């Protein structure tokens, strides 16, 4: 099956800093999503981005499908951005296969 690799596994930032999270896939995927998991466990859907670039406020994402990777950009980070960020790619049954996540800590 598809392998999803996220980097870095942990990231500590000072408030106001920018960051880039990366997701690599072992094979082509038709679907790709980025999530933020809050401290209560809820998955917040950030982007559905199988290809191209999208922006939503301070967040943006780019997927280069031909090279099997996706990037999530966080600009001017805030303490509320802390949490775990997951990327997930489409499996053969329409399900998503998740990476191990990037744990982000934003310090005031």
Partner 1 sequence: GAVVSQHPSRVICKSGTSVKIECRSLDFQATTMFWYRQFPKQSLMLMATSNEGSKATYEQGVEKDKFLINHASLTLSTLTVTSAHPEDSSFYICSARGPLASTGELFFGEGSRLTVL
- DSSP letters for the chain: ---EEEE-SEEEEETT--EEEEEEESS--S-EEEEEE-TT-PEEEEEE-SSEEEEETTEEEEEEGGGTEEEEEE-S--GGG-EEEEEEEE-TTS-EEE---EEEEEE-
Cβ nearer to partner 1, comparing 10 with 15: 10
Task: Please report, as residue ranges, which positions from 15 to 74 form the binding site for partner 1 (by CB under 8 A).
Answer: 30-31, 33, 35, 41-43, 45, 48, 50
Cβ nearer to partner 1, comparing 29 with 106: 29
Task: Please report, as residue ranges, which positions from 84 to 103 form the binding site for partner 1 (by CB under 8 A).
Answer: 86, 88, 90-91, 93-101
Tell me which residues touch partner 1 (CB under 8 A).
Answer: 30-31, 33, 35, 41-43, 45, 48, 50, 86, 88, 90-91, 93-101
């Amino acid at each position: 099956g598809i392998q999803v690799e996220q980097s870095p596994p942990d990231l500590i930032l000072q408030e106001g800093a920018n960051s880039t999270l990366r997701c690599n896939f072992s094979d082509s995927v038709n679907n790709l999503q980025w999530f933020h998991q809050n401290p209560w466990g809820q998955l917040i859907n950030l982007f559905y981005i199988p290809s191209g670039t999208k922006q939503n406020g301070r967040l943006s994402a780019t997927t280069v499908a031909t090279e099997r990777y996706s990037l999530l950009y966080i600009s001017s980070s805030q303490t509320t951005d802390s949490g775990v960020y997951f990327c997930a790619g489409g499996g053969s049954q329409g399900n998503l296969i998740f990476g191990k996540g990037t744990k982000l800590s934003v310090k005031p």
